[in-house]
Amino acid sequence: MKEMRAGDRAYATLVSEIQSGELAPGTVLGEVEQATRLGVSRTPMREAIGRLIADGLAKQQSPRTTVVTGFDAADIRRLFEARRALEETAARLGAQRADRDEFASLAADFGAVQVSSETNIDEYYELIRRFDRALDVAVDNSYLVSALRVIRTHLVRARQLARDNHMRLESSVAEHRLIAEAIAAGDPDLAAHATHVHLHNALTSILQSLAEGAAS
């Protein structure tokens, strides 16, 4: 296997730390300090930070200062506006173009998954990644897939806010199963509608979690 380039490795590490909250909004991403911390030279670190800015995970606060972007309720609403447009389109195309047997298998896996423990939750998110990869292949549209990649990068930050809501996770499992079943059945309208309902419920849950956190 080809070794990951230093810039790619630094970028992947920083993305993971931003998604988990280890690098909180407003954290200064000093090129020299981060390069030293991650054991890379300044050139690949400069490249990694540039990619973070392009993805919207970091911004230039001043000509010499780059910080991790904020992520509040308004950001999440804007994220879901874009997510609805992209994911409902992808679901519709997937129902027209996908390998139906593959999505029938995914639907069965969603039907069997449990979210009663942290390990089960990690397995569920891995199943979602499998679903996303299968859908990307099915839609066969590099422009749409590229836009979805950026959305999913930000989505991990949003999901962290609802991770411990087991009732919501259980509902999300059922919603993903319905989407997979609709794609397997070759029903574009149902696939898009099921995706719309899932995203509405996901956004409502995340915003509620934020409101409860602010009130506590």
Domain 73-215 bears CATH identifier 1.20.120.530 = yes
Containing H/E element for 65?
A: strand 65-68
| Fold match, 6-68 / 73-215 | no
Structural domain boundaries in the chain: 6-68, 73-215
- Model confidence pLDDT, tens digit, residues 137-183: 999 999 999 999 999 999 888 877 655 677 888 899 999 999 999 99
Range 52-70 burial, b when 16+ CB lie within 10 A, else e: beebebbeeeeeeebbbbe
Both tokens of residue 120? 């089960």
- Model confidence pLDDT, tens digit, residues 198-213: 999 999 999 988 887 6
Query: What CA–CA distance (Å, rounded) separates 94 from 90?
Result: 6
Give me the phi and psi of 9, to 5 degrees please. -65, -45
CATH architecture observed for domain 6-68 = Orthogonal Bundle (1.10)
pTM for this predicted structure? 0.84
